[in-house]
Amino acid sequence: MFCRVLHKRVFIIPLGLLLFTAISSLFFTRALAATTLGAAAAAQGRVFAAAVEGNRLGTTPYTTVFDREFAGTTPGNEMKWDTTEPSRGSFNFAPADAIVSHAQSHSMKIRGHTLVWYSQLPGWVSNISSGSDLLQAMNNHVTTEVTHFQGKIWYWDVVNEAFNEDGTRRSNPFQNLIGNAYIEDAFRAARAADPNAKLCINDYNIEGQNAKSNAVYALVQDFKSRGVPIDCVGFQAHLIVGQVPSDFQANLQRFANLGVDVQITELDIRMPTPASSANLQQQATDYSRVVTACLAVSRCNDITVWGVGDADSWIPGFFPGQGAALLFDDNYNPKLAYNAVLQVLNGGVGGTPTPTTTPTRTPTPSPTSTPIPGAACSVHYAITNQWAGGFGTNVTINNTGSSTITSWSLAWTFANGQVITQLWNGSYTQSGSSVIVTNVSYNGTIAVGGNTSFGFNGSWSGTNSIPTTFKLNGVTCNIA
Ligand code: G3I
């Protein structure tokens, strides 16, 4: 009798254990696989964030997706100088305050963007003519803004886009009037105003090791050696499909080794539109690579995508014919790239579907515009950096004519099969050897006697000769 009871008990206990194990493993598996970007990244000790635009907050489905998926945010425009101090000493923090309050009520981390930048700068700042006056204005701006948001911002982009592609300092009012010291002056002012906020220098095209990232690296090294406050480097990561730098992770790590945090601050991966399914698959691979690189570097603690979905991205407005750069589509439905990122954040190694076809290249260039009477130009085309298979350039267009240029289109032909892989401060098409670069919204106007520049990276083999003929709006330019 006792034996029969024991036998039954022995049988009942393992069955109960089995059931418990099955139910609990199901539960824990579900619990581990987070279902939003923010939660999945949090489990990895990272913040997954999105840039937000105040005028879209409250609209749906934008806000629904933003609130559900992201654990942090960066105001896209509302903390920039033209909004926060449109005239000297007169501050307007209302648009940014609204975002901060929304973010706080959703427990989001907030990146402050940006205190000192050459763009979206009000005219009164550019019109200051003495270095001491500009320094005073800059310090006051930084101090007032950082003080206003004291305790609410975890990382500030103190200085944005301070370098040219060749690693020299970008010409801007601060550089030109205050000199090299303006960057450290801004960092010191920010530290004094909120000692608990982390301070970043932020830039684009520094994701791989190149002349520009080397310059930022040297600046961080210098600041660290002299005790100038700096806590972080922001890698904007405005990337092109199929072109995530192969040394992205190594580059993040070398900065982290200097003792700063590294953050991916404005991630998007653009492609020609309408998007091909091959490119959308490649984009999923590319996003996975970026997120994998960040997860592999312990000091990489934030990934911010520059917009919620393709419908609100800045890309189509700046690069006509390109877009589809974000994780949600025009209707805010998740894309392949979203699934890939979620999978990587959840610890999966997958999320990297193989492209089925070669990514589509750029469309056929449209004809250049009709020459304007009195139009004349010169072009300086400089190879700033060249390595096996790749090169970087800076191209300057000078308006040597007698009338202001209000939009431009520069055409040339490559002689040796060069292919542009990434271009900034312009929008381009390449068809075979023919290239046309057109202005973007902020650099279409070139005053008489003035100039504008754009740059690009390209691939080459054998010979990399400089083009000999450039046509600006149909007019042949001199070589400068
Ligand atoms: O608010 C006005 C609106 O009233 C007007 O009707 C409309 C007409 O064009 O313009 C609106 O302002 C636009 C503003 O974005 C808000 O949408 C500006 O024209 C437009 O130039 C501005 O673009 C911003 C851009 O910075 C300016 O350089 C983008 O939204 C913003 O996403 C972008 O962000 C930058 C980062 O700060 C730094 N890194 C590069 C990144 C992309 O350019």
| SS3 label, residue 402 | coil
Whether ligand 1 lies within 6 angstroms of the CB of 77 is answered as yes
281 is written with which tokens? 């698959």
Model confidence, pTM: 0.72
Task: Give CA–CA dist 5/386, Å, rounded.
Answer: 83
CA-atom Rg of the chain in angstroms? 25
First-to-last CA distance in the chain? 106
| pLDDT the model gives residue 21 | 45
Task: Give CA–CA dist 262/201, Å, rounded.
Answer: 10
Backbone angles phi, psi at 277, to 5 degrees: -65, -30
Question: Ligand 1 centroid vs 318 CA: distance in angstroms?
Answer: 9
Is position 184 annotated as part of the catalytic site?
no
**CA 60 to each of CA 52, 115, 288, 332, 412: distance values in angstroms, whole numbers, following the listed order:** 13, 30, 27, 9, 45
Query: Measuring CA to CA, which residue among 38, 15, 16 is closest to residue 342?
Result: 38
Q: Where are the alpha helices (DSSP H) in 61-121?
A: 62-69, 81-84, 94-105
DSSP 8-state code for residue 354: P
Q: What contacts 88, CB < 8 A, 6 or more positions away?
A: 124, 137
Q: What contacts 78, CB < 8 A, 6 or more positions away?
A: 54, 84, 95, 96, 98, 99
For residue 429, the tally of other CB atoms under 10 A from its CB is 21
Cβ neighbourhood burial of 124 (10 Å; 0-12, 13-18, 19+): middle
> What is the pairing mode between strands 451-459 and 419-424?
antiparallel
The position carrying tokens 């982290």 is: 256
Q: What contacts 300, CB < 8 A, 6 or more positions away?
A: 46, 252, 256, 261, 262, 263, 264, 293, 294
Task: Give CA–CA dist 345/48, Å, rounded.
Answer: 10
Whether ligand 1 lies within 6 angstroms of the CB of 319 is answered as no
Whether ligand 1 lies within 6 angstroms of the CB of 441 is answered as yes
pLDDT single digits (tens) 336-385: 999 999 999 999 743 333 332 223 333 333 333 345 678 899 999 988 67
| pLDDT the model gives residue 358 | 29
| pLDDT the model gives residue 441 | 62
Question: Ligand 1 centroid vs 113 CA: distance in angstroms?
Answer: 13
| pLDDT the model gives residue 90 | 98
Query: Measuring CA to CA, which residue among 179, 163, 174, 111 is closest to residue 141?
Result: 174
Whether ligand 1 lies within 6 angstroms of the CB of 458 is answered as no
List strand residue ranges (DSSP E) for 204-324, in order: 232-235, 238-240, 261-272, 300-305, 322-323
Whether ligand 1 lies within 6 angstroms of the CB of 236 is answered as yes
Q: What is the DSSP annotation of 269-297?
A: EEEESSPPHHHHHHHHHHHHHHHHHHHTS
Q: Which atom of ligand 1 is nearest to the CA of 236?
A: 39
All residue ranges of the chain with pLDDT < 70 are 1-32, 349-372, 384, 424-425, 430-431, 441-442
Question: Ligand 1 centroid vs 460 CA: distance in angstroms?
Answer: 34
The answer for 322, left when phi > 0, alpha when psi is -120 to 50, beta otherwise, is beta
| pLDDT the model gives residue 433 | 83
> Which of 116, 314, 318 is the best mutation target for the ligand 1 pocket, counting ligand atoms within 8 Å of the beta carbon and taking the most?
314
| pLDDT the model gives residue 353 | 35
Whether ligand 1 lies within 6 angstroms of the CB of 313 is answered as no
Which residue has a Cα nearest atom 11 of ligand 1? Answer: 77
Query: Measuring CA to CA, which residue among 453, 458, 457 is closest to residue 118?
Result: 453
